[in-house]
Structure 1
Amino acid sequence: MDPEGQGPRVWFQQVPESKVTKNRLHLDLKVGGGRDVPLAVRTERVTATVDRLKKAGATVLRIMDGPEMEYYAVVLQDPEGNEFCVV
């Protein structure tokens, strides 16, 4: 839950089976601040979040870096194999 009560509430329900194939849900964690924020600042914010997530057990799968498009995101995988993005 957003501590300030402004963002959406997200609840995760545990299920007994592990991931077998494709994700049932894919999340994008938007930490960069949007396109109004300079790319260098967004990249720094994303990198800091990715570093914290790696320490918590996530694995980086790929970096999506399109400087010509002013875009930076990282695709990660949690310990159970679920993929998500940090943008």
Structure 2
Amino acid sequence: MGARIDLTLDAGDVAVLAAFWKTALGYVDEPPPAPFATRDEWLASFGIDPADSANDGAWLCDPDGLGPRLSILRVPEPKTAKNRLHLDIRVSGGRPAIEAETARLIAAGARLVWQDDDHCVLGDPEGNEFCVAPARRG
């Protein structure tokens, strides 16, 4: 059996980062784990007051169940260096598609860090780097 992965991003403002990555990836809020009907019920099961932790975490998932789950967790310190792991958003359609996706993500809150003829490096609203690159062949 192959292992599945989740990706976790540290954040200063969970709500901003979650909104950006839902837009970027087409992800949705992950339902709470069974048997809980809401995330608030799940948090309360750990003795956490949901009102005190409203911006502490977000859990996103691919609505088709194909991509990894994305957890976004609040941390007190800001990002200070280049992240050691980054996401690649792969698009089909060559350079025009890469430029269109880059423009869409910039409009959603990303910033352009660097680009060449093959791909673009962007930063999300908190500066986490990611690439917009051509879809892999084969």
Say whether the fold is shared (TM-score over 0.5). Answer: yes
Q: TM-score band, normalised by the shorter chain?
A: 0.5 to 0.7
How far residue 55 of structure 1 moved from its aligned partner, in angstroms, is 0.7
Query: Which residue of structure 2 aligns with residue 73 of structure 1?
Result: 119
TM-score (norm 1): 0.68
Q: Which has the higher contact order (CA 8 A, sep 6+)?
A: 1
Q: Is 1:64 aligned to residue 116 of structure 2? A: yes
How far residue 53 of structure 1 moved from its aligned partner, in angstroms, is 0.9
Number of aligned residue pairs: give it.
73
- Residue-by-residue CA offset, 1:47-72 (whole Å, 9 max, x unaligned): 2211111112211121121xxxxxx2
Gap change, CA 1:24 and 1:12, over 3 Å in 2: farther
Q: Is 1:49 aligned to residue 101 of structure 2? A: yes
- What is the correspondence of 1:19-30 to structure 2 with a 5 Å cutoff? 19-30=79-90
5+ long unaligned stretches in structure 2? 1-60, 134-138
Match of 1:15 among 58, 70, 75: 75
How far residue 79 of structure 1 moved from its aligned partner, in angstroms, is 2.8
Q: How many Å separate the matches in 1 of 2:65 and 2:130?
A: 23
Query: Which residue of structure 2 aligns with residue 4 of structure 1?
Result: 64
The sequence identity of aligned pairs, in percent, is: 49
Q: How many Å separate the matches in 1 of 2:68 and 2:127?
A: 24
How far residue 14 of structure 1 moved from its aligned partner, in angstroms, is 2.4
Q: How many Å separate the matches in 1 of 2:122 and 2:115?
A: 9
Q: How many Å separate the matches in 1 of 2:72 and 2:91?
A: 20
Larger Rg over CA atoms: 2
